[in-house]
Amino acid sequence: MSEQLNKRIFDELESLVLIDPHTHINPHSAASTTLADIMGYHYYTELAHSAGLAKESIEEPGIDPKEKVGRLVTQLGDLDNTIQLSWLMDICSEFFDFQDETITESNWEYLYDTAAEKMAQPDWEQQVLKQSGLERVFLTNDFDDPLEGFDTKLYIPCLRTDDLVFHLTKNETRERLGKATQVDVGCASTLREAIGELFEHFTSNGARACAISLPPDFSPVSVTADQVDSTVRSLFAGDDLNSEESKLVSQFVFWTLAEYCGVYRLPFDLMIGVNRRVYEAGVYQGQDLYDKRTSLIQYKELFNAFPKVTFPVSVLTSTSNQELVSYSWIFPNVVINGHWWYSNTPAFITFDCKSRLEAVPKTKLIGYYSDMYKLEFALPKFRMYRRVLANVLATDFVINRNWSEQRAIELGKLVLRGNVETIFSC
Q: What is the per-residue pLDDT across 314-368, written as a single tens digit (0 to 9) for each?
A: 999 888 999 999 999 999 999 999 999 999 999 999 999 999 999 999 999 999 9
pLDDT band for position 293 (cuts 50, 70, 90): confident
The domain boundary, picked from 87, 119, 151, lies at: 119
Nearest Cα neighbor of 142 from 128, 161, 129, 124 is: 161
In a domain, 26, yes or no: no
CB 136 within 8 A of CB 168: no
Within this chain, do residues 161 and 89 fall inside the same structural domain, yes or no? no
In a domain, 296, yes or no: yes
Within this chain, do residues 383 and 348 fall inside the same structural domain, yes or no? yes
Within this chain, do residues 110 and 217 fall inside the same structural domain, yes or no? no
What pLDDT does 244 receive? 96
In a domain, 10, yes or no: no
In a domain, 1, yes or no: no
Within this chain, do residues 296 and 336 fall inside the same structural domain, yes or no? yes
The domain boundary, picked from 92, 119, 146, lies at: 119
Within this chain, do residues 46 and 188 fall inside the same structural domain, yes or no? no
Q: What is the per-residue pLDDT across 73-108, written as a single tens digit (0 to 9) for each?
A: 999 999 999 999 999 999 999 999 999 999 999 999
Question: Count of alpha carbons within 13 Å of 85, Cβ hemisphere only?
Answer: 17
Averaged pLDDT for residues 300-308: 98
Within this chain, do residues 209 and 91 fall inside the same structural domain, yes or no? no
pLDDT band for position 291 (cuts 50, 70, 90): confident
Within this chain, do residues 297 and 267 fall inside the same structural domain, yes or no? yes
Within this chain, do residues 115 and 158 fall inside the same structural domain, yes or no? no
* Residue 426 pLDDT > 90: no
What pLDDT does 1 receive? 61
Q: What is the per-residue pLDDT across 15-61, written as a single tens digit (0 to 9) for each?
A: 999 999 999 999 999 999 999 999 999 999 999 999 999 999 999 99
* Residue 219 pLDDT > 70: yes
In a domain, 185, yes or no: yes
- The overall average pLDDT reported for the chain is 96
CATH number at residue 84: 1.10.2020.10
In a domain, 2, yes or no: no
Q: What is the per-residue pLDDT across 142-185, written as a single tens digit (0 to 9) for each?
A: 999 999 999 999 999 999 999 999 999 999 999 999 999 999 99
Within this chain, do residues 79 and 195 fall inside the same structural domain, yes or no? no
Within this chain, do residues 115 and 140 fall inside the same structural domain, yes or no? no
Domain with 315 in it = 127-423
In a domain, 157, yes or no: yes
CATH number at residue 346: 3.20.20.140
For 321, phi and psi rounded to 5 degrees? -60, -40
CA dist., res. 74 & res. 101, Å (int): 16
Q: How would you classify the pairing of strands 289-290 and 274-275?
A: antiparallel
CA dist., res. 414 & res. 203, Å (int): 26
Within this chain, do residues 354 and 227 fall inside the same structural domain, yes or no? yes
Number of domains in the chain: 2
In a domain, 8, yes or no: no
pLDDT band for position 2 (cuts 50, 70, 90): confident
CB 13 within 8 A of CB 389: yes
Within this chain, do residues 61 and 203 fall inside the same structural domain, yes or no? no
DSSP for 253-284?
HHHHHHHHHHHHT--EEEEE-EETTSSTTSPT
The domain boundary, picked from 119, 143, 158, lies at: 119
